[in-house]
Structure 1
Amino acid sequence: MSSLLYSVLVSPLAPEDGGGFVATVPDLPGCISDGETPQEALFNVQDAIESWIEAAEDLGRDVPKPSRQLAYAK
């Protein structure tokens, strides 16, 4: 299962939280990452998604399917 199939929400972090951006994956509870830029947060969350899926499989837990299909404009 590709990590790119999951929707990711990227939001700015408040300065008191260190600034930068946080990326969360709504379909995978607790799956988050961050970065100095939105692009870095999105790049970093791909490893978090893969690790989340691997840990769930190791524990014998179900891995949720992506809740929506993504479309890309050309």
Structure 2
Amino acid sequence: MKFLVTLYQDEDGVFVAECPSIPGCVSQGRTEAEAEANIREAIQQCLEVRAEKGMPLTVQTRQVEVVV
């Protein structure tokens, strides 16, 4: 399965990775590569738990552009 993941660096310099289509699926790392590897593992674990609990594996998301 393929997932879109967002990566950003927080105010402490830690890279945060989130998978918007799996609620609560977040990880982090000291580098972008580490955060990316960690979110892969988090996605696998989140999918396993959601399947065990009979929850939908993902939720539908979409991206919109907002101008402020």
Q: Which TM-score band (shorter chain)?
A: 0.7 to 0.9
Aligned 8 A contact 1:7 1:66 in 2: no
- 1:12 — aligned with what? 9
| Greater relative contact order, per chain length (Cα 8 Å cut-off, separation 6+) | 1
Q: What stretches of structure 1 of length at least 5 have no aligned partner? A: 69-74
Percent identity between the aligned chains? 32
- 1:51 — aligned with what? 45
Number of aligned pairs?
62
Q: What stretches of structure 2 of length at least 5 have no aligned partner? A: 63-68
TM-score (ref. length: structure 2): 0.81
Root-mean-square deviation over aligned CA pairs: 1.7
4+ aligned runs moved over 6 Å, structure 1: none
TM-score (ref. length: structure 1): 0.75
Higher helix share: 1
